[in-house]
Amino acid sequence: GTDPLTILMGFADGRIRLTNVKDNNISDFRDYIEYSVHDNKTGRVNMLCLSQDNNMLYTCGDDCNIFSFMFQCNYKNIDEPPQPPVLVEEEIIDTKEDGQVQEENT
């Protein structure tokens, strides 16, 4: 099979999710692990960053907290470094959750 692509997501309720997506079925988001790290009312995750060597994941939330995690990938060829992440600096989807958080903050 093909190696999965890891997608990192941050949500309005402070959760972060790491999802493995296979190249042959990019619409299948069932393979994930999720953590509730920031405050679920005021901790909207507004930034996910990887360290330059891709070994640390940093999350920033509207709750003024920054969390760090060791980020480990199962790359088969250790001599070949992983591809640098592609950062998307725009909101792709406005969810119902996002609207509720915005209303609560106004």
SS3 104: helix
Residue 68, domain extent: 1-73
Q: Is residue 83 part of a domain?
A: no
Q: Look at residue 101 and tell me if it is in a domain.
A: no
- Quick check: 15 and 36 in contact, CB under 8 A? yes
Predicted TM-score (pTM) of this structure: 0.63
Is 56 domain-assigned? Answer: yes
- pLDDT above 70 as % of the chain: 64
Rg (CA), the chain: 15
Total domains, the chain: 1
* Both tokens assigned to 37: 């790290």
Q: With respect to residue 19, please indicate whether it lies within any of the assigned structural domains.
A: yes
Q: CA angle 84-87-91, nearest 5°?
A: 160
| 86-100 pLDDT tens trace | 555 555 555 555 555
